Structure 1
Amino acid sequence: MEVATAVKLNRTVLAVILISLISGVLSGDIVHHDDKSPTRPGCDNDFVLVKVPTWIDDKEEDEYVGVGARFGPTLQSKEKDAHKTRVTLADPTDCCTTPKNKLTGEIILVQRGKCSFTTKANVAEAAGASAILIINNSTELFKMVCEKDEPDIDIGIPVVMLPQDAGESLRGNLQKNLNVFVQLYSPSRPLVDVAEVFLWLMAVGTILCASYWSAWTARESAIDQDKLLKDASDEYLSTGPYSSGVVEITTTSALVFVVVASCFLVLLYYKMSDAFIEVLVILFAIGGAEGLQTCLVALLSCLRSLEHAANTFIKIPFLGAVSYLTLVVSPFCVACAVLWASFRRHHFAWIGQDILGVTLIITVIQIIQVPNLKVGAVLLGCAFLYDIFWVFVSKLMFDESVMIVVARGDKSGEDGIPMLLKIPRMFDPWGGYSIIGFGDIILPGLLVAFSLRYDWLSNKSLREGYFLWTMIAYGLGLLITYVALNLMDGHGQPALLYIVPFTLGTFITLGIKRGDLLHLWTRGEPDRICPHVQLQSSGE
């Protein structure tokens, strides 16, 4: 028991480090900053992403992504309706004065700066351009709006901004006197992508599995403990309290979590690099392998044919007593983690990441427990404030959302950090992933698992208990998060902003209504007169 507990504690330390990194459901849209200007006639377009496929000397080349302006006509939504048009370089390049070259319907490529976006568009339209491509001065996309003191705008050509690297590539080809053609169109994004449905099911299913495993383990441990207490000898009583190998969160550790998580998030924000990402990948691979091993061993131990292998141990240096089943399973789990780490940049790597992530989450919820509702309320309350601060308030201090920057991996060469569950958007013409942070599953999952343990130890039915309603509340909270994500035009949303009020609010409200709140808040487990007898009947 002592060896198993030590191994679990090591896993817990690693898991806590991982969950401290990030939580939040985010979007991959690349639009920023300048959307505060009020709309008015001629300057009231919705911001849309624009596909810009290119041809160099009649050979199809890269496809870039731009963003449409608040002004000008809307673009076609289908590729077949978009015209293939020649691109020409503005002279002067800023297009703040009438171009020297004569235009006959070409798309003009200009550099950002020296005058307003609307001035460039008016000059280009007057010169005969059919559209204007503006090269941004950074790799991000900038939302183009009208100036506050400008009158009503009447611009008749589309205006699209390109990131700096895409624009410089086109300009380089034009300076070589190559023929450059592009199409401009903006396909519509589906209101709800199937990926979000599957991600919702994955999150809810993970908490369900983790909760039932945690409750089953707690009940079996309570049965064993009660039987030992009933038949206890003096020798047993002198050995001290029963050890279950479970780590209980305290109020202090819940508060420390926010401080540690915030410090680590700031460290990631400032020190994000390829090397730092590699460290996170290694940590995640180790934690994922541990989680996969724990889940597989527990699952295979239920088979009668493997029961002997699961209960037969061998001593290994530095590890202590390890079962033969664990020895057989461990190489497979390590191989899975190594394969994921090696191929993590491939399009199919999300499958391995999700498998490792789900098993790690289930293991964490199995090992770490909330002892009562008070600790659960403090933990989720702190996480609620943590999410809001680092997604929204941090913009005032850092000029950008720290949580979103870290989650997307904007300052590294990676497509976000690995401590996320993600599924590729299946019917989204813009591609990308729907993602959810580990914290958005683990933290509320700890409360949901506590509710099921309480129900089972109290012999409460599904309807009379707390688990069913807390689980439904979590599902609704996550669903509202995705609704908000779509209504907010893809801007990052802190999932705990919606999940915490639903889950914690439902639990506390039911506790008050049923008169159990004081008991849930302080003790967190029911009073049992004949504990082992009641629990056995519950198991039947």
Structure 2
Amino acid sequence: MQPEIRDEEAARAAQVKIPVLLVDFQDGNRIDDAASLTGGADVLVWAFNSEESPWNLAMALTWLLGVLTVMTAAYYSCSEERQLSYEKVARVLAGRLDRSPSSSSVSTMVESTTGANEYVDVEDDRLELSSRHAVFFLVGASCVLVLLYYVHLALMLSVLFAVGASAALAHVFTLPLATRLASPGSSNLQAVLLVLVTLSAPALGLCWFLARTQPWVWPIQDLMALTVCVVFIDVVRLPNLRVATSLLTAAFIYDVFFVYISPLIFGSNVMVDVASGGGGMQLGSEPGAANGGKGAVQPTPMVLSVPLIFSVYGGEALLGLGDIIIPGLLVAFCIRYDYCSGQPPSSGYFCAATSAYAAGLLVANIMAIVLRSVVAGQPALMYVVPTMLATVLSLAKFNGELEVMWSDPACFLESSRCHAAAVEVSELEAQREEQQPLLPDNLY
């Protein structure tokens, strides 16, 4: 070949431009779909297999969030029992000190523990579950899940979640802070802060609703979801171990059925499809799969979501709120019993139940990776429920308290009576303040 021809070919080759773009699987699918629909230039999508490890730090973060939420919600829900326990200790110390001058510190401790919960509504609006509720849960939750599988109700769920989570944020954060800011003789700055604090919860809920499909919104969604768990565990209570066993067993059957058996009936994994929005959103148990589907996928908001870290495939690690709330009810029962029976939660049933939950959830995460080729995602309650029930029931049997905890514990009745008496005293004081005539300032 002559040198002139080589130079011409080299010049023509230098003018050829082939644009190359490195994107993840999700964006690659969108580009391919857009090119085929618009009839534009040919786009060659080449899948690059990076041999990514199925283990991801996001799974550990999701596990940690679940465990910390259960512990926090359980501690938050036992304010009455904790106060009763402190008062018992104060009375014992007062008796030992025999009215010594230092006994005033005991009364101060009791007053401080009472004052720490002044912002809590004195009316007892909590719901105690029964064995019938376990049956209602099994039937009702199954019907709702099947309905969500067939009917696209993502918008309605998002609206309900935004409203409910905003109320939960107000109950957990805004109300206590606003009560402290609205003290008598507050300054103008406190009044401005009070308005800002009052509006923060609905503003955060509105922000999440408007940006719910954006990838950066997951911390807001997780915060809102965690407060929903805290409020639910605080409002709903287990009266004894019999009801706890019935409820957790029903949840165990529900979880296993809709993960392992539902594909044989419905043709796909009902629980995974509903949790991921029905669009094949990647779960943390299988980080190597692509997110197929056209357009943005809107998952159900009833999950904790943490994006997979340093993953070229994208996706998220998900944990359903039911996997937190149902075991959290048992943990809350355990810490209430610890305080009522006078034993420290750090060495009682609370510590045992929390450790069992953490171990069961960890096993569920491990099995999700081990069995990822069999089923996408694992029913966490399949591992959590047997671990927790076996631990708590065995410990109660070993301590000789199984019969007491199986039926309604007497210490819970004592706590209820003390709370009812406190409510009655608060109502009488409120009536006395309303009936007291207002005097001019110069008479004081």
Name the CA distance, whole Å, in 1 between partners of 2:334 and 2:175: 22
User: Mean alpha-carbon deviation: is it higher for 520-529 or for 486-495?
Assistant: 520-529
Query: Which SS does the other structure have where 1:430 is aligned?
Result: coil
Tell me the residue number matched to 1:414. 297
Query: Cα distance 1:474–1:525, how it changes in 2: closer, same or farther (>3 A)?
Result: farther
**Cα distance, 1:352 vs structure 2:** 1.0
Instruction: Summarize the alignment of residues 104-115 of structure 1 with structure 2, pairs less than 5 Å apart.
Output: none
Amino acid at match of 2:273: V
Q: Structure 1 residues 428, 253: CA separation in 2 closer, same or farther (over 3 Å shift)?
A: same
- Residue 355 (1) aligns with residue 223 (2): yes
Match of 2:329 in 1: 446
Judged with a 3 Å threshold, the aligned counterparts in structure 2 of structure 1 residues 528 and 432 are, in CA distance, closer, same or farther, namely: closer
SS at match of 2:329: helix
Task: After TM superposition, give the deviation of residue 187 of structure 1 in Å.
Answer: 1.1
Structure 1 SS opposite 2:395: helix
* Equivalent pair of 1:190/1:427 in contact (CA under 8 Å): no
For 1:518 and 1:432, the matched residues in 2 are separated by 47
Deviation, 1:504, is: 1.4
Q: Which amino acid aligns with 1:462?
A: P
Match of 2:59 among 196, 202, 211: 196
The separation in 2 between residues aligned to 1:196 and 1:290, in whole angstroms, is 29
Whole-angstrom CA distance in 1 between matches of 2:69 and 2:274 = 24
Counterpart selection for 1:294 from 151, 171, 188: 171
The change in CA–CA distance for 1:418 and 1:222 in structure 2 (over 3 A counts) is same
Once the two structures are superposed, residues 142-197 of structure 1 have per-residue CA deviations (whole angstroms, 9 ceiling, x without a partner) of xxxxxxxxxxxxxxxxxxxx98x877767789x97x56545442112234322112
Amino acid at match of 2:136: V
In structure 1, which of residues 375, 378, 402 is the aligned counterpart of residue 270 of structure 2?
402
Indicate which of 379, 394, 397 corresponds to 1:512.
Answer: 397
State the secondary structure of the residue aligned to 1:59: coil
Confirm or deny: 8 A CA contact 1:194 1:427 kept in the other structure: no
Q: Which of the numbers 485, 489, 499 marks the counterpart of 2:368?
A: 485
Is residue 335–residue 345 contact of structure 2 (8 Å, CA) maintained in 1? no
Does structure 2 retain, via aligned residues, the 8 Å contact 1:383–1:496? yes
Matched, 1:497 2:365: no
SS at match of 1:415: coil
Q: Which residue of 1 aligns with 2:437?
A: none
Distance (Å, rounded) in 2 between the aligned partners of 1:527 and 1:61: 64
1:59 and 2:19 aligned? yes
2:326 alignment partner, SS class: helix
Q: Which stretch of the first structure deviates more once superposed, 360-369 or 243-252?
A: 243-252
Gaps of 5+ in 1: 1-55, 67-161, 225-241, 311-323, 533-540
Q: 1:190, 1:428 within 8 Å by CA — same for their partners in 2?
A: no
> 1:106-145 CA deviation, whole Å, 9 max, x = no partner?
xxxxxxxxxxxxxxxxxxxxxxxxxxxxxxxxxxxxxxxx
Structure 1 stretch 215-224 or stretch 495-504: which is displaced more?
215-224
Contact 1:258 1:382 in 2 (8 A): yes
Q: Are the structure 2 counterparts of residues 185 and 268 from structure 1 closer, same or farther at C-alpha, using a change threshold of 3 Å?
A: same
Partner of 2:140 in structure 1? 260
**Who is 2:127 aligned against?**
247
What root-mean-square deviation, in Å, do the aligned CA atoms of Structure 1 and Structure 2 show? 3.4
Verify: 1:280 aligned to 2:157, yes or no: yes
Contact kept in structure 1, 2:58 and 2:317, CA below 8 Å:
yes
Give me the whole-angstrom Cα distance separating, in 2, the residues matched to 1:374 and 1:309.
51
Q: State the 1:428 CA deviation.
A: 2.1
For residues 197-236 of structure 1, the aligned pairs below 5 Å read 197-220=60-83
For 2:81 and 2:194, the matched residues in 1 are separated by 22
For each residue in 1:444-498, what CA deviation from the matched residue of structure 2 results, as whole angstroms up to 9, or x when unmatched? Answer: 0000011000000111123541000100010111111110111122721111011
Amino acid corresponding to residue 336 of structure 1 in structure 2: L
8 Å CA contact retained: 2:24, 2:312: no
Aligned length: 346
Matched, 1:185 2:48: yes
Quote the Cα distance in structure 1 between the aligned partners of 2:221 and 2:82. 32
Give the secondary structure class of the aligned counterpart of 2:215: coil
Opposite residue 148 of structure 2, the aligned amino acid is L
CA distance in 2, matches of 1:243, 1:434: 39
* 2: CA distance, partners of 1:404 / 1:529: 44
Q: TM-score, normalised by structure 2?
A: 0.70
Q: Is the 8 A contact 2:335 2:350 kept in 1?
A: yes
CA gap of 1:255–1:182, structure 2 versus 1, over 3 A, is closer
Question: Residue 174 of structure 2 contacts residue 201 of structure 2 at CA under 8 Å; is this kept in 1?
Answer: no
Q: Residues 455 and 222 of structure 1: is their aligned pair in 2 closer, same or farther, counting only changes over 3 Å?
A: closer
Distance 2:209 2:81 in 1: 34
On the 8 A contact 1:372/1:522 being kept in 2, the answer is yes
- Cα deviation per residue 1:203-229 (whole Å; 9 max; x = unaligned)? 1111111111111234447999xxxxx
SS in 2 for 1:186: coil
Q: Higher helix proportion, which one?
A: 2
For residue 348 of structure 1, give the secondary structure of its aligned residue in structure 2.
helix
Return the letter of the residue paired with 1:262.
Answer: S
User: Hey, what's the Cα distance between the residues in 2 that align with 1:496 and 1:221?
Assistant: 33
Whole-angstrom distance in 2 between the partners of 1:410 and 1:169: 21
Q: How much has 1:62 moved relative to structure 2?
A: 7.8
In 1: Cα distance, 2:168 partner to 2:32 partner: 45
Q: Which amino acid aligns with 1:194?
A: L
| Shift of residue 420, structure 1, vs aligned partner | 0.7
The answer for unaligned runs of 5 or more in structure 2 is 1-15, 88-121, 187-191, 280-294, 419-444
TM-score, length basis structure 1 = 0.58
Question: Helix, strand or coil for the counterpart of 1:288?
Answer: helix
Q: Secondary structure at the match of 1:519?
A: helix
1:333: how far off? 0.6
- From the superposition, tell whether residues 455 and 167 of structure 1 become closer, same or farther in structure 2 (CA, over 3 Å): same
Once the two structures are TM-superposed, the CA of residue 427 in structure 1 deviates from its matched residue by 2.2
